[in-house]
Amino acid sequence: MSLARRQFLQTAAAGVAVAAAPRWAFAAEKVVPFRISLAEWSLHKAIRGGDLTDLDFPRVTKEEFGIDAVEYVSQLWGDKQAGSEYVAKVKQQCDDHGVRSVLIMVDAEGALGDADGAKRSQAIDNHKKWLEAARELGCHAIRVNAQSSGSYAEQLALAADGLGRLGEIADQYGLNVLVENHGGLSSNGEWLAGVMRRVGRPNVGTLPDFGNFCISGRGTPDAVWYDRYQGMEDLMPFAKAVSAKSYEFNDAGEEVQTDFPRVMKTVLNHGYSGYVGIEWEGGNPCEYEGIKLTKALLERIRDSVV
């Protein structure tokens, strides 16, 4: 059979297959500017109060909120930590409910910018189990903190050292290491951007949080804040995840403390198209309603730019 004849028959067969297949098989997935995930911290009161377990988190995320991507919080896993057997149970819950694992927010494993070199190395080592858990769950990153001490310049150098070394290890797992603005100098957008430039690794980036720009004294008259809108501009060039922190809504469904449309314009203007994680931290309404209000607001913003 000639080459031309063979190509003709292959093309004809492909056409028959297309005609026979159901129309939905070729429906293009809707292109959206960003996707929505849910941070486990949004339900920390329910989990710590015993109304939910962290194993319920994937199911509740899908069934209650219609969200199919989750972000875990290490401190809510308690003494179970990142053991392989427990991670397998979490993964099975995700598989059973069609939920994707995005990242793990890791806390209380030591200061990655500790001025004591031995303690800094220990903190790096402490994060390895979370890298293993993240890889097993199919996450793309772990979120860490950049605690340090000393002067502005000293903390920048120390944090960059710890983060860079952890980034080298994370490379072996195919994972990213992301730093959140989470108090202290990490809530100074200029400082944290400087840390990122000092590290200079493609797998070490930021997780900008809309609300965590209090450098010190939160809840006091002497609180020191970094401008959140400038902070988002500072951190978005390095962002590989975004946290949509919400505290309070008005009757129009707008978040009171942060201009969400303004912040999301910054996010999208920097070319970000990944997951935006809902992190409700308000006291009224309840966690479930706060999550729903935040999701509805993000969807309105998303739909307005599609």
- Percent above pLDDT 70 for the chain: 89
Provide the domain count of the chain.
1
Predicted local distance difference test score (pLDDT) of residue 11: 41
**Residue 216 in domain:** yes
pTM value?
Answer: 0.88
Predicted local distance difference test score (pLDDT) of residue 23: 35
**Residue 255 in domain:** no
**Residue 162 in domain:** yes
Residues 183-192 have pLDDT tens digits of 999 999 999 9
**Residue 20 in domain:** no
- Percent above pLDDT 90 for the chain: 84
Q: Is the dihedral of CA 249, 250, 255, 260 positive or negative?
A: positive
**Residue 252 in domain:** no
**Residue 209 in domain:** yes
Predicted local distance difference test score (pLDDT) of residue 12: 42
**Residue 172 in domain:** yes
Residue 215 sits in a domain whose CATH number is 3.20.20.150
**Residue 36 in domain:** yes
The boundaries of the domain holding residue 56 are: 32-243+272-278
Q: Is residue 86 within 8 Å of residue 77, measured between CB atoms?
A: yes
Residues 60-113 have pLDDT tens digits of 999 999 999 999 999 998 777 667 889 999 999 999 999 999 999 999 999 999
Stretch 11-22: mean pLDDT, rounded? 39
Beta carbons within 8 Å of 142's beta carbon, 6+ residues apart: 103, 104, 105, 106, 127, 130, 131, 134, 170, 175, 176, 177, 178
